[in-house]
């Protein structure tokens, strides 16, 4: 007969073993305990049946009370055995559930690792694609810049070869506004549009400086674009040419001053008087430095500035410029007359 203390010690030993063993060992031990409890349960039931038969066969006496006490103890033991068995079954079911959860967790971990690897691979692919895209965009920008430069050079060569004449009907509306800013009718404009003049008169008129054919061509081209209202083409064309001239000849060169005059013309036609005045002042400083204070090109620039100040209502600033331009023109006219007389001699 197993009493209560024996069962308690057995259960305690099971708990003690559970704290030291692994999950599989605990399951094996639990199964062994369940088998032992089942055997113990069968023995106690057999004892209980024998006691009940003895109580039924014997009359009530002192020995009967002892048998009843034993029967009560056995019933308590059976209840505890049933409780132990139910707890063991719960442990087995819980262990099976935990095992399935652990398997699912391992499966999910494997999926997470795989997704992390795929994510890293996609990140690498994205970074590589972005780098390739950036390289291609840079190449596109470079090619577009080269294309614009080639188009500019092609247009310059085209007009260098053909020297087209402007249609008087197309430019009649802009003639007055163009002539009073760049250049004067009898000076710089005639130098641009009539390159084949008397050599002695041209040398005297220009002080030894001859406007290059390329700039005369560019001047005609810009006037054509401006007359058509295509300032988005004329302005970049002037700026590109100005940049090329500054790189090749330096900022303080007469050709740069001529190019500044052309760009001022375009700005003036767009009513950008302040920008045009800044360009003309820069051109005036360059021409005074490189060609001299009494050069006819200086007079033309002074005249253009005076006209521009007049359009802005600054007549006090315009008056001294006109006077100085007139003085230079008188000197130039006298010099040209002397040169012409010398040729006749």
Give 319's contacts (C-beta < 8 A, 6+ positions apart).
306
List the one residue out of 309, 290, 301 whose CA is nearest residue 325: 301
Per-residue model confidence as pLDDT tens for the chain (345 residues): 455 566 566 666 656 655 555 667 777 877 888 888 888 888 888 888 887 777 777 655 555 577 777 878 888 888 888 888 888 888 888 888 888 888 999 999 999 999 999 999 999 999 999 999 999 998 998 888 888 878 877 776 665 555 444 444 444 444 444 344 334 433 444 444 444 333 333 333 444 456 677 778 888 888 888 888 888 888 888 888 888 888 888 899 998 999 899 899 889 889 898 899 999 999 999 999 998 888 888 998 999 888 888 888 888 888 899 899 888 888 877 665 555 433 333
Cα distance between residue 96 and residue 99, in whole Å: 5
In a domain, 159, yes or no: no
* 46 within a domain of the structure (yes/no): yes
**pLDDT value at position 45?**
83
Specify the pLDDT at position 14.
58
Q: What own/partner pairs with CB < 8 Å and gap ≥ 24 does 328-334 have?
A: 328/294, 328/295, 328/296, 328/298, 328/299, 328/302, 329/187, 329/296, 329/299, 331/294, 332/204, 332/205, 332/294, 332/296, 332/299
pLDDT of residue 309: 86
pLDDT for 118 equals: 92
Residue 113 shares a structural domain with residue 228: no
pTM (2 d.p.)? 0.43
CATH number at residue 230: 1.25.40.10
Two tokens, residue 220: 């005609």
Parent domain of 28: 4-55+66-129
**Element (H or E) spanning 290, and its range?**
helix 273-290
Predicted pLDDT at 335: 61
- Please tell me the total count of domains within the chain: 2
CA 80 to chain centre: 76
Domain boundary among 129, 155, 182: 129
284 located within any domain = yes
What is the length of the chain? 345
Element (H, E) at 257: helix 254-269
Farthest CA pair distance, the chain: 180
Which tokens in the block code for residue 284?
Answer: 């005036």
């Amino acid at each position: 007969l197993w009493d209560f203390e024996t069962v308690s010690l057995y259960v305690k030993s099971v708990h003690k073993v559970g704290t030291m063993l692994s999950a599989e060992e605990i399951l094996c031990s639990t199964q062994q305990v369940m088998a032992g409890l089942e055997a113990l349960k069968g023995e106690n039931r057999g004892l209980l049946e024998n006691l009940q038969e003895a109580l039924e066969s014997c009359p009530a006496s002192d020995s009967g009370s002892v048998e009843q006490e034993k029967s009560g103890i056995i019933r308590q033991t059976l209840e505890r055995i049933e409780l132990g068995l139910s707890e063991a079954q719960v442990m087995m079911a819980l262990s099976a559930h935990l095992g399935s959860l652990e398997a699912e967790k391992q499966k999910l971990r494997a999926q997470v690792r795989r997704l992390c690897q795929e994510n890293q691979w996609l990140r690498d692919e994205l970074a590589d694609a972005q780098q390739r895209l950036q390289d291609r965009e840079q190449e596109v920008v470079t090619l577009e810049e080269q294309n614009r430069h080639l188009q500019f050079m092609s247009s310059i060569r085209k007009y260098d070869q053909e020297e087209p004449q402007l249609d008087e009907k197309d430019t009649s509306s802009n003639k007055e506004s163009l002539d009073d800013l760049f250049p004067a009718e009898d000076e710089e404009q005639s130098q641009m549009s009539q390159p084949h003049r008397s050599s002695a008169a041209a040398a005297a008129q220009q002080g030894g400086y001859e406007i290059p054919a390329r700039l005369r061509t560019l001047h005609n081209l810009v006037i054509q674009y401006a007359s058509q209202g295509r300032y988005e083409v004329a302005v970049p064309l002037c700026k590109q040419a100005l940049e090329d001239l500054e790189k090749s000849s330096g900022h303080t060169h007469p050709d740069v001053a001529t190019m500044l005059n052309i760009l001022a013309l375009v700005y003036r036609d767009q009513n950008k008087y302040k920008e045009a005045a800044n360009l003309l002042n820069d051109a005036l400083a360059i021409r005074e430095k490189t060609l001299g204070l009494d050069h006819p090109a200086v007079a033309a620039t002074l005249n253009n500035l005076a006209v521009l100040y007049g359009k802005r209502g600054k007549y006090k600033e315009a008056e001294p410029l006109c006077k100085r331009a007139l003085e230079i023109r008188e000197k130039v006219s006298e010099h040209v007359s002397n040169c012409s007389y010398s040729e006749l001699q």
